[in-house]
A and B are shown apart, each in its own frame.
Chain A
Amino acid sequence: MNPNPLSRHRDGAMAAVKGRSLWDDARRRLMRNRAAVTSMVVLIVLVAAAIVGPYLTPFRYDVINKNDVWMAPMTGGHLLGTDSLGRDLLARLLIGLRVSLAIGVVATSVSLVVGVVWGATAGYIGGATDEVMMRIVDVLYSLPFIFFVILLMVTFGSNIVLIFVAIGAVEWLTMSRIVRGQTLSLKQKEFIEAARANGLDRGAIVRRHIVPNLLGPVVVYVTLTIPAIILAESFLSFLGLGVQPPMASLGTLIANGAQDMELAPWLLIFPSVTMVATLMCFNFIGDGLRDAIDPKDR
């Protein structure tokens, strides 16, 4: 929900006393990265538009107006034109952006929570538990993603909550692998040993020491997961399995625009540009964060 990833950093600096200067360093490096900073500004604007925009447009996204179909942009008060049912594209674009961003954030949160808990537990406990938990991940990896989703959609009918769950349920796999790898190396560190010597129980060690120290790689992966999920949702919507009309997402808008592209190219172009811009922002921020937190990769 938080559009500004920097606030995360400050939390991290509070939690890890020793790492404070490291996070300050990272922030300075991030702020020097022009692509990342520009992306953050653009993304804040996009998020703000998605949150408040739908209340400000003169037209509603779902009102059909048979007299105003195929209006070109900048005509009849429709800034971005209208679609085949006379609905205002700007209003639909804003609501679509809201839906896509919401799905991205919620599904990422699902994958974040499940992936971190799963990976940290497997990595910390180790041994047979680790083996079993990671085999489960391997098995889920070899199931075709679209198979899961189609089954879920046909079983429960397609609704937005289900899309969140379905996509999140697939995306946590990579997260859990990353977290497990990090946990394995953290486990060897002296401060964990000290915590154990102090008599802290396993759960508390994982919660208080392992998870906060995983923050760096996890934050980077989160900023790269959100665009991946927005893309996945768009694929589903494009295939008619995602968001159902009159609700819109960037995927459904592009799918509809593609059908009418000869007659009304603006219906394809504006949603496409919005989606590409959104995804690029997340990718630049993710890359910037990675360079900032782990500069040796540059």
Chain B
Amino acid sequence: MFRFLLRRLMVAIPTLFVVITVAFFMMRAAPGNPFDLDRKLPPEIEANVKKKFHMDEPLVQQYGRYLAGVAHGDFGPSLKYRDKSVLDVLKENYRVSLTLGLISITLASLVGVSLGILAALRQNGALDYSVMAIAILGVCISTFVTAPLLQLVFGSKLGWLPIAGWDNGALKNLVLPVIVLSLPQIAIISRLTRAGMIEVLHSNYVRTARAKGLPEHRIVSRHALRAALLPLVSYLGPACAGLLTGSLVVEKIFGLPGLGKFFVLSALQRDYTVVMGMVIIYAALILALNLAADLLYAALDPRVRVS
């Protein structure tokens, strides 16, 4: 187990390094810089500002300086928000995305797995068809269709819930964004669970369990579920990373101050360091969650146990 972990880390670190390199040079290849967007600075002042952020140095030297900083856990100062470091800026914005992401992924997993199991147990029954219909709809109706429709119905027509805003994470402000974020995930998760469950229910060891006379609920919970959830485990890793770093569309529609919206804004303003910080966090999250998924996979399925 330890060797497996070590080997995966040996791959993850160079990967992260390449991600940083590609992102750094792509970002710099784009025209414009953080200081020329709003109003034109006098050349002397611009030169001074650039000097302050070491942007007068050759690009390769800046890159080396940046890498050294990151290796020491220093992501540098924000270029747009005076006197704030990148970490300060991210700290201010991550709460919204984290809250929404965690609630949504938990809700989606619970509902999706339950629906998937029920559908698999009643394969080709009415319940199965309704769950699959919901699943197909959930994939096709994207968040920017469901979000305005829900706003229209529950926000302005019925007036039960606020149309937009964060309000320090008040429960009623969370309801609509969480539903919108969860629906497509519920669709995918229930499909994966159903497919996995149906395959497992036809396997030999489940037949053996049945032959032993075990009650159905025990067969499902003790024998089948574990193997059926395997495909889900590898899906959830990247999905979590996506949800935790914020959903652009949902944050935009509901006017939430989250990371996704902030990322686009920073890229448009060429706030190089903030964008780089977010890219690194996102990439690290994906790598970490994939690794976690692999470990979980091995824990659930003895056959793949760390070869």
Contacts and interface: CB of A to CB of B under 8 A. Distances in A.
B60 interface: no
B98 interface: no
Contacts of B282: 142, 144, 147
A205 interface: no
Interface residues on B, range: 35 or more
Nearest to A146: B248
A276 B15 contact: no
B161 to A, nearest CB: 16
A142 B136 contact: no
B122 to A, nearest CB: 16
Interface in B88-131: none
A141 B252 CA distance: 24
A238 interface: yes
A258 B15 contact: no
Interface string B126-143: 000000000011011110
A74 interface: no
User: Chain B CB within 10 Å — which of A138, A262, A283 has the most?
Assistant: A138
A234 B142 contact: yes
Interface stretch (B20-28, B43-51, B292-300): B20-28
B171 interface: no
Nearest to B148: A258
A230 to B, nearest CB: 10
A155 B29 contact: yes
A17 interface: no
B136 A280 contact: yes
Contacts of B248: 146, 235, 239
Interface string B278-291: 11001100110000
Contact of B140 (A142, A251, A283): A283
A202 interface: no
Nearest to A298: B198
Nearest to B139: A283
Consensus secondary structure, chain B interface: helix
Nearest to B191: A287
A134 to B, nearest CB: 11
A72 to B, nearest CB: 17
Contacts of B230: none
A154 B264 CA distance: 11
A154 B23 contact: no
Given A143-B22, A235-B248, A151 B144 contact: no
Contact of A138 (B15, B30, B31): B15
B255 to A, nearest CB: 13
B148 A142 contact: no
A254 B144 contact: yes
B144 A235 contact: yes
B139 A234 contact: no
Contacts of B32: 154
Contacts of A239: 248-249, 252, 264
A71 to B, nearest CB: 20
A280 B275 CA distance: 36
A238 B249 contact: yes
B152 interface: yes
Interface string A143-159: 11011101100110000
B7 to A, nearest CB: 14
Contact of A261 (B19, B29, B148): B148
Contact of A147 (B140, B267, B286): B267
Contact of A255 (B18, B141, B144, B283): B144
Contact of A276 (B27, B145, B195): B145
Contact of B30 (A151, A251, A272): A151
Interface in B162-209: 195
A231 interface: yes
B145 A254 contact: yes
B140 A151 contact: no
A144 B279 contact: yes
A104 B94 CA distance: 33
A238 B283 CA distance: 25
A265 B153 CA distance: 11
A234 B142 CA distance: 9
Contacts of B137: 276, 280
B156 interface: yes
Contact of B152 (A141, A238, A265): A265
A118 B38 CA distance: 43
Given A150-B267, A154-B267, A143 B23 contact: yes
B13 interface: no
The 4 closest A-B pairs by CB, nearest first: A258-B148, A279-B140, A155-B30, A142-B283
Interface of B: 11, 15-16, 18-19, 22-23, 26-27, 29-32, 136-137, 139-142, 144-145, 147-149, 151-152, 156, 195, 245, 248-249, 252-253, 260, 263-264, 267-268, 275, 278-279, 282-283, 286-287
Given A138-B15, A147-B267, A151-B27, 7 more contacts: A141-B286, A147-B282, A150-B264, A154-B31, A258-B147, A268-B152, A280-B140
24 contacts: A143-B22, A143-B279, A143-B283, A144-B263, A144-B282, A150-B264, A154-B267, A234-B144, A235-B248, A235-B249, A238-B252, A239-B252, A254-B145, A254-B148, A255-B144, A257-B148, A258-B147, A268-B152, A272-B141, A275-B140, A279-B139, A279-B140, A280-B140, A284-B136
